[in-house]
Amino acid sequence: MVSYKRLNPEDVQFSRAVLSEERHPVQEDVSGLEPEDSSLLTRRPSCSITTALLVISCLLLVLCGGWLLGTIFWLHSSSNVDPHKPPLPVPGQTPDSKAQAGPNGTTVASRRGACRLIPEAWRFDCYPERGMVVTREMCEARNCCFIPASTRPSSAAHTSGENGIPWCFYPPDFPSYSLVSLNDTSLGQKGTLVKEVKTYYPGDILNVEVEIRQETNTRLRVRITDPSASRFEVPISVPTATTKAENPEYVIELSKQPFGLIVRRSSTGAMLLDTNVAPLFYADQFLQFSTSLPSQFIYGLGEHRSTFLHDVHWNTLTMWARDAAPMEQTNLYGVHPFYLSMEDGGNAHGFFLLNSNAMDVVLQPAPALTWRTIGGILDFYVFLGPDPGSVVEQYVEVVGYPAMPIYWALGYHLCRWGYNTSDSTWEVVKSMRNYGIPQDVQWNDIDYMDRQMDFTYDPTNFATLPDLVKDLHVHDQRYVMILDPGISSSQPEGSYWPFDEGLKRGVFIKDAEGKTLIGKVWPGLTAFPDFSDEVTHDWWFDNLQRLHQKVPFDGVWIDMNEPSSFLDGSTSGCPSSSIENPPYTPGVLGGSLRAKTVCATAQQKQSIHYNMHSLYGLMEAKATASAMKRIVAKRPFVISRSTFPSQGMYSGHWLGDNRSQWKDLYTSIAGMLTFNILGIPLVGADICGFSEQPQEELCIRWTQLGAFYPFTRNHNSINMNPQDPTAFSPMARTAMKQALLLRYSLFPVLYTLFHHAHVHGHTVARPIMFEFPKDVKAYGIDKQFMWGKSLLVTPVLDPGVDYVEGYFPEGLWYDFYTGDSVRSQGEELRLPAPLDKINLHLREGSILPTQTPNLTLWVSSGQPLHLISALSDDGSASGDLFWDDGETVDSYETVQYSYIIFKVAQNLMTSQVLQSNIEATYITVESATFYGVKEKPSKVLVNSQDATFTYRDNKVLTVADLGLNLSQNFTISWM
Picking from 842, 792, 836, the residue whose alpha carbon sits closest to that of residue 817 is: 842
Find the catalytic residue in 559, 657, 686, 771: 559
Please state the separation of Cα 78 from the chain's center in Å.
37
Sequence-distant (6+) residues with CB within 8 A of 422 are 444, 448, 461, 462, 463, 464, 465, 467, 468
Q: Which residues pair with 207 in a beta bridge?
A: 194
Q: Are 609 and 579 in contact (CB under 8 A)?
A: no
Find the catalytic residue in 249, 323, 445, 562: 562
Question: Tell me, what amino acid is at 929?
Answer: T
**Alpha-carbon span 836 to 832, nearest angstrom:** 11
Virtual torsion, Cα 355, 357, 362, 363, nearest 10 deg: 40
Give the Å distances, CA to CA, from 879 to 389, 770, 852, 900: 18, 18, 19, 9
Q: Quick check: helix, strand or coil at residue 700?
A: helix
The phi, psi pair for 857, rounded to 5°, reads -70, -25
Q: Quick check: helix, strand or coil at residue 315?
A: strand
Exposure b/e, 448-471, CB count within 10 A at least 16 = b: bbbebbbbbbbeebbeebeebbeb
Return the sign of the alpha-carbon dihedral for residues 432, 438, 442, 445. Answer: negative
Picking from 709, 639, 638, 621, the residue whose alpha carbon sits closest to that of residue 673 is: 709
The phi, psi pair for 914, rounded to 5°, reads -85, -30
Report which DSSP code applies to 232: -
In the residue annotation, 844 being an active-site residue is answered as no
Return the sign of the alpha-carbon dihedral for residues 762, 765, 767, 772. Answer: positive
Give the Å distances, CA to CA, from 500 to 505, 785, 914: 9, 49, 54
**Alpha-carbon span 371 to 209, nearest angstrom:** 19
Question: Tell me, what amino acid is at 419?
Answer: Y
In the residue annotation, 562 being an active-site residue is answered as yes
**Alpha-carbon span 29 to 78, nearest angstrom:** 13
Would you tell me how many other CB atoms lie within 10 Å of the CB of residue 855? 22
Report which DSSP code applies to 122: G
Return the sign of the alpha-carbon dihedral for residues 356, 190, 383, 83. Answer: positive
**Alpha-carbon span 434 to 437, nearest angstrom:** 8
The phi, psi pair for 593, rounded to 5°, reads -65, -25
Q: Are 647 and 640 in contact (CB under 8 A)?
A: yes
Q: What share of the chain is helix, strand, coil (3-state, %, to 5)?
A: 25, 25, 50
The phi, psi pair for 170, rounded to 5°, reads -70, 135
Q: Which residues pair with 182 in a beta bridge?
A: 191
Question: DSSP assignment of 800-839, as one string?
Answer: T-SEEEEEE-SEEEEETTT--EEEESSEEEEEE--TT--E
Would you tell me how many other CB atoms lie within 10 Å of the CB of residue 91? 7
Q: Are 550 and 512 in contact (CB under 8 A)?
A: no
**Alpha-carbon span 499 to 822, nearest angstrom:** 63
Exposure b/e, 682-716, CB count within 10 A at least 16 = b: bbbbbbbbbbeebbbbbbbbbbbbbbbbbbbbbbb
Q: Annotated catalytic sites, by residue? A: 559, 562
